[in-house]
């Protein structure tokens, strides 16, 4: 024989030979499915469990549901959730459309910096801006009320942030406007100017062109942005916890938290019933959202895209000042108030002697809880920053580059999980860790927090990574494989270096998200695994605004510091990354 080696694969006589892809996909779906679906299933099941304590053997009946339906607070909470969302969306959406149009399509000066300002606003934790604005609009100690009274503009406090308008305002100056501006501005910028020029040459005025051409052509993008934001409907927690709870105003997330943490005995039954109602509503929204966002929309950017800016003429500078004012309200104003609050003996009290003190900071730095919080936060944020981008890029690779069966299910799972409010993830995982014998010892450790924080933000992470893979094309990998590299080598020698900017961006976003996470971890955290955000929330709820401000400031320095350092290191954060 010639000694030729032929590669043969022995075919088993009977049975099914699983292909690698199917095995890996089954593993991914299994793990993610377990993490995402199992807690949901547990929530549903436990809504029928009428055992008083979690450690008791379960007893099933409809009692929870019956009493839940009789409890007006539950439906009120759901209604309040919608109310707040509708109110802040009704204001933030048109405002964001106008701002995005200004930044993306006109020659307003400093558009670059203004857009960065909205990015900073997005990165600022909502806890930070809420506390900052409490210090301005608190009915008794708010600076604006104080100024109005002293200057004689009013005899009584004008503003009360502990109200529905106050909560709506806190959302507006939090993320509500900035996230929409960030999503819409690139879309406005990329619209081919020729469409508007054709309208102008055809006889349409600037306003007519804006209404009949620009807005209708942007409608698909507007719908997408609206739907992406719909998931935030049930996710809001910190703002309502700080501002709503004091006057008995509950939304779905704060009521669940109260039922579990502040009711004796803990009302798991009602909490899970409320959670189940919410899940049912979310289940209705998700397919609609997916259908709308995946439809082909007709704004195509052709090869001959003409970009150009619309001249605002005399209105350039007034518009600049107006947008700058908005940016300042969203960023500098709350942060400055925080700084002020940390140095006042009693925030808002100017008659106290001394007015200013370092005592709040020394109280904080000598409190062991702070250092536990710092340690936990840093650990969570760093783990999330390092591990999550890699994980998401692998998921994105599976979705884009393979033809394995089950990708549609994986995509749907990732998408759906984004709609799951943090508090429900926390609740479900709480049940999972408490109710599963081999997981119970992990409750009270940092492990559940790491898991939940690592897997947060997977939708954005996977979507961004997918976009990069699609853009880079298959040939880069194919040439590596043809050159003899296996999958692993190709991944770390070809894909990872090319994806580094995206991974670094994701790392930054995940770091910031993990550092400021509250609702996802609040039910799983214990005294020894407290995060800084939860600590700030606790102090804020108890009225210790000075220390709450100090902790929030530390979180801001941490998160913004990392983001700015990343930008300084040359990462294209926010402005160019779409």
Q: What is the contact surface with another protein in residues (CB under 8 A)?
A: 192, 194-195, 197-205, 208, 212-213, 216-217, 219, 298-300, 302, 304-306
CA-to-CA dists, residue 498 to 108, 408, 495, 567, angstroms: 34, 26, 5, 18
Q: Are 144 and 133 in contact (CB under 8 A)?
A: no
Nearer to another protein, 199 or 480 (CB): 199
Picking from 290, 255, 252, 240, the residue whose alpha carbon sits closest to that of residue 419 is 290
d(CA 138, CA 329): 16
* Percent of residues in the chain assigned helix, strand, coil, to nearest 5: 70, 0, 30
Nearer to another protein, 302 or 473 (CB): 302
**In whole angstroms, how close is the CB of 467 to another protein at the nearest point?**
23
d(CA 338, CA 130): 10
Question: What secondary structure letter does DSSP report for 420?
Answer: S
d(CA 394, CA 380): 21
Q: Are 516 and 127 in contact (CB under 8 A)?
A: yes
**In whole angstroms, how close is the CB of 102 to another protein at the nearest point?**
20
Nearer to another protein, 41 or 198 (CB): 198
- Which helix or strand (DSSP H or E) is residue 213 part of? none
Sign of the Cα pseudo-torsion (211, 214, 216, 221, in order): negative
The torsion angle over the Cα atoms of residues 534, 536, 540 and 542, rounded to 10 degrees, is 60
In DSSP terms, 533 is beta-bridged to: none
**In whole angstroms, how close is the CB of 51 to another protein at the nearest point?**
57
Nearer to another protein, 198 or 358 (CB): 198
Question: What secondary structure letter does DSSP report for 439?
Answer: T
**In whole angstroms, how close is the CB of 197 to another protein at the nearest point?**
5
Neighbouring residues of 260: CB distance < 8 A, sequence distance ≥ 6:
266, 267, 268, 271, 427, 523
**In whole angstroms, how close is the CB of 550 to another protein at the nearest point?**
47
In DSSP terms, 106 is beta-bridged to: 310
d(CA 338, CA 525): 25
- Within 357-402, where are the H helices? 359-365, 368-401
d(CA 299, CA 515): 37
Nearer to another protein, 198 or 496 (CB): 198
Neighbouring residues of 363: CB distance < 8 A, sequence distance ≥ 6:
547
**In whole angstroms, how close is the CB of 259 to another protein at the nearest point?**
48
- Which helix or strand (DSSP H or E) is residue 258 part of? helix 252-261
Nearer to another protein, 52 or 205 (CB): 205
Sign of the Cα pseudo-torsion (191, 197, 203, 206, in order): positive
Nearer to another protein, 161 or 213 (CB): 213
**In whole angstroms, how close is the CB of 294 to another protein at the nearest point?**
17
Nearer to another protein, 36 or 111 (CB): 111
Question: What secondary structure letter does DSSP report for 232?
Answer: G
Nearer to another protein, 199 or 259 (CB): 199
**In whole angstroms, how close is the CB of 207 to another protein at the nearest point?**
11
Nearer to another protein, 305 or 474 (CB): 305
**In whole angstroms, how close is the CB of 246 to another protein at the nearest point?**
48
- Within 402-436, where are the H helices? 407-419, 422-435
**In whole angstroms, how close is the CB of 184 to another protein at the nearest point?**
17
**In whole angstroms, how close is the CB of 218 to another protein at the nearest point?**
10
Supply angle C-alpha 14, 16, 17, rounded to 5. Answer: 110
Nearer to another protein, 99 or 199 (CB): 199
Nearer to another protein, 217 or 390 (CB): 217
**In whole angstroms, how close is the CB of 40 to another protein at the nearest point?**
39
């Amino acid at each position: 024989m010639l000694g030729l080696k032929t590669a043969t694969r022995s075919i088993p006589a009977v049975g099914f030979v699983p292909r690698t892809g199917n095995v890996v996909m089954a593993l991914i779906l299994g793990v993610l499915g377990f993490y995402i679906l199992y807690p949901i299933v547990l929530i549903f099941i436990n809504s029928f469990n009428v055992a008083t304590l979690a450690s008791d053997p379960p007893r099933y009946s409809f009692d929870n549901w019956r009493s839940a339906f009789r409890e007006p607070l539950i439906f009120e909470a759901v209604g309040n959730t919608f109310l707040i969302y509708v109110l802040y969306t009704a204001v933030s959406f048109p405002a964001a459309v106008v701002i995005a149009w200004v930044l993306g399509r006109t020659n307003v000066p400093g558009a670059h910096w203004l857009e960065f300002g909205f990015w900073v606003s997005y990165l600022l934790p909502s806890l930070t801006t809420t506390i900052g604005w409490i210090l301005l609009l608190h009915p008794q100690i708010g600076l604006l009320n104080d100024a109005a009274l002293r200057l004689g503009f009013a005899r009584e406090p004008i503003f009360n942030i502990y109200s529905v308008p106050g909560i709506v305002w806190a959302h507006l100056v939090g993320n509500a406007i900035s996230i929409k501006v960030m999503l819409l501005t690139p879309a406005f910028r990329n619209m081919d100017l020729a469409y508007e020029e054709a309208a102008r040459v055809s006889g349409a005025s600037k306003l007519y062109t804006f209404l009949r051409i620009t807005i209708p052509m942007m409608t698909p993008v507007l719908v997408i942005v609206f739907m992406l934001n719909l998931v935030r409907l049930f996710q809001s927690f910190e703002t309502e916890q700080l501002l709503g709870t004091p006057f008995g105003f509950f939304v779905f997330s704060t009521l669940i938290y109260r039922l579990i943490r502040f009711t004796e005995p803990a009302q798991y039954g009602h909490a899970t019933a409320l959670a189940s109602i919410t899940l049912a509503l979310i289940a209705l929204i998700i397919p609609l959202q997916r259908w709308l966002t995946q439809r082909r929309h007709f704004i195509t950017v052709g090869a001959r895209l003409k970009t150009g800016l619309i001249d605002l003429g005399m209105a350039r500078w007034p518009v600049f000042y107006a947008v700058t004012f908005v940016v300042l309200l969203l960023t500098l104003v709350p942060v400055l108030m925080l700084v002020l609050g940390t140095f006042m003996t009693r925030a808002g009290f100017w008659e106290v002697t001394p007015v200013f003190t370092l005592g709040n900071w020394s109280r904080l730095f000598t409190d062991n809880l702070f250092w536990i919080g710092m340690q936990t936060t840093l650990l969570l944020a760093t783990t999330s920053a390092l591990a999550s981008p890699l994980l998401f890029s692998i998921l994105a690779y599976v979705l884009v580059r393979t033809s394995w069966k089950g990708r549609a299910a994986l995509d749907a799972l990732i998408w759906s999980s984004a709609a799951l409010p943090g508090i429900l993830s926390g609740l479900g995982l709480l049940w999972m860790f408490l109710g599963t014998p081999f997981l119970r010892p992990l409750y009270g450790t940092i492990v559940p927090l790491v898991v939940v924080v690592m897997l947060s933000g997977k939708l954005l992470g996977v979507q961004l990574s997918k976009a990069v893979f699609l853009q880079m094309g298959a040939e880069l990998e194919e040439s590596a494989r043809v050159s003899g590299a296996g999958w692993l080598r190709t991944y770390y020698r070809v894909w990872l270096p090319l994806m580094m900017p995206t991974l670094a961006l994701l790392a930054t976003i995940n770091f910031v998200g993990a550092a400021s996470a509250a609702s996802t971890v609040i039910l799983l955290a214990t005294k020894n695994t407290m995060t800084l955000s939860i600590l700030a929330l606790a102090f804020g709820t108890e009225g210790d605004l000075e220390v709450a401000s100090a902790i929030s400031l530390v979180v801001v320095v941490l998160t913004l510091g990392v983001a700015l350092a990343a930008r300084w290191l040359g990462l294209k954060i926010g402005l160019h990354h779409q």
